Amino acid sequence: MHTILTGDRPTGPLHLGHYVGSLRNRVALQSRHRQFVMIADLQALTDTEPAKVRSNVLEVAYDYLAVGLDPDQSTLFIQSQIPELAELTMHFLNLVSLARLERNPTVKEEIRQRGLERDVPAGFLAYPVSQAADIAAFKATLVPVGADQQPMIEQTNEIVRRFNALTGSATLVECAALIPEQGRLPGLDGSAKMGKSLGNALALSASPDEIRAAVKRMYTDRNHLRVQDPGRVEGNVVFTYLDAFDTDTQKVAELKDHYRRGGVADTAVKRRLEDVLQATLAPVRARRAQYALDHEGVRRMLQEGCARARVVASQTLRDVRQALGLEYFADTPGKVA
Ligand code: TRP
């Protein structure tokens, strides 16, 4: 059995990229492992206004519940409510160089996308350290994330090894990333990554009309002009999505063969994809609406999750403080910490 820790930034509603990249895996894993799923509000605050972060925390919780994360099997919690994570980040910041932070390819890419080159908040550059603390505080051994998060896992393990070496202890444990075989879901426009800020995302909460419009504007093979022309399947976004969502793989394989030979209209492939997406998202949307009606219940569920998560993180922080020699008054009545 693994201990799993994973999470998402509450900067907007979760989308199909999250679903394929990690949500699906988390739902499959929750019955067999000890899973913690974190709404990373502190991480979101490294580059997003507080009001926006605040208003998206519950939205992400609805998304989690709607896709089938079960609070009886997974502990859902909010990062900021676990102050031990901030303390562990502080200790970890001493174990990583500025040059190493600047080399992290995911952060580099995000800095470029956001146009932050001239003015990177220190907290943004250091968020992989805070993410390492999230993972280490739960002694997680498995982290289900999208492919773009692989460098974070490597950086986490470097820090964990350094901490253990520095303190001559085995306090912290290394983790492995669990990245879906399927690979990253491209954006609706065919670009490498789906992102709300990139304007190419389809939210899990999308309406039937939004789903229809999204499929309609998807790219296919730009050289497939007439129905009878042979078409390309590789790099064709509509087929990539069919691979990700259509459970009838036999039928998809036949459709691909036919499309390659020629004789299949793009509209026919799109119709199939639209049906599949409508069928996938309809129950998610319905469940989400139910949970949104019970926002008090969801808030209470999160509060209980935070309490459970805090017990685990504070135990690790006791070990960490001891390893660093910071327990000055541990055996004194009325101790400070
Ligand atoms: N970086 C992740 C994202 O962009 C969110 C996250 C924060 C996370 N802490 C984590 C993911 C720990 C996995 C483990 O969505």
Looking at ligand 1, which residue's alpha carbon is closest to its atom 5? Answer: 8
Looking at ligand 1, which residue's alpha carbon is closest to its atom 3? Answer: 8
Cα–Cα distance for residue pair 128/89, rounded to 1 Å:
9
E strand intervals along the chain:
3-8, 34-39, 74-78, 142-144, 176-178
Q: Which of 83, 103, 94, 72 is nearest to 42 (CA)?
A: 83
* pLDDT (tens place) for every residue of the chain, 337 residues total: 999 999 999 999 999 999 998 999 999 999 999 999 999 999 999 989 999 999 999 999 999 999 999 999 999 999 999 999 999 999 999 999 999 999 999 999 989 988 888 899 999 999 999 999 999 999 999 999 888 889 999 999 999 999 999 999 999 999 999 988 877 899 998 888 888 878 899 999 999 999 999 999 998 888 888 899 999 999 899 999 999 999 999 999 999 999 999 999 999 999 999 999 999 999 999 999 999 999 999 999 999 999 999 999 999 999 999 999 998 987 776 666 5
Cα–Cα distance for residue pair 19/331, rounded to 1 Å:
48
* Structural tokens at position 127: 């968020």
Q: Is the dihedral of CA 136, 23, 50, 98 positive or negative?
A: positive
Question: Using an 8 Å Cβ cutoff, are 13 and 55 in contact?
Answer: no
Cα-based distances in Å from 271 to 95, 222, 253: 53, 18, 16
Is residue 125 within 6 Å of ligand 1 at its C-beta? no
Question: Using an 8 Å Cβ cutoff, are 193 and 21 in contact?
Answer: no
Q: Which of 110, 135, 106, 11 is nearest to 63 (CA)?
A: 11
* Structural tokens at position 97: 């160089």
- Residue 256 Cα to ligand 1 midpoint, Å, equals 35
Atom of ligand 1 nearest to the CA of 131: 9
Atom of ligand 1 nearest to the CA of 152: 1
Q: Which residues lie across from 74 on neighbouring strands?
A: 35
- Per DSSP, 332 falls in state S
3-state secondary structure of 137: helix
Rg from Cα positions in the chain: 22
- Residue 316 Cα to ligand 1 midpoint, Å, equals 19
Cα–Cα distance for residue pair 97/99, rounded to 1 Å:
5
Q: Vertex 40, ends 37 and 41: CA angle to 5°?
A: 140
* Pocket residue to mutate for ligand 1, from 134, 179, 184, most atoms within 8 A of Cβ: 134
Cα–Cα distance for residue pair 173/58, rounded to 1 Å:
31
- β-sheet with 142-144: strand ranges across: 74-78, 34-39, 3-8, 142-144, 176-178
Indicate the pTM of the whole model: 0.94
Other beta carbons within 10 angstroms of residue 100's beta carbon come to 14
- Residue 9 Cα to ligand 1 midpoint, Å, equals 7
Question: Using an 8 Å Cβ cutoff, are 196 and 245 in contact?
Answer: no
Cα–Cα distance for residue pair 135/316, rounded to 1 Å:
11
Q: Which residues lie across from 36 on neighbouring strands?
A: 5, 75
Is residue 8 within 6 Å of ligand 1 at its C-beta? yes
Question: Using an 8 Å Cβ cutoff, are 75 and 37 in contact?
Answer: yes
Note the Cα 76 to chain centre separation in Å: 13
* Pocket residue to mutate for ligand 1, from 8, 39, 53, 194, most atoms within 8 A of Cβ: 8
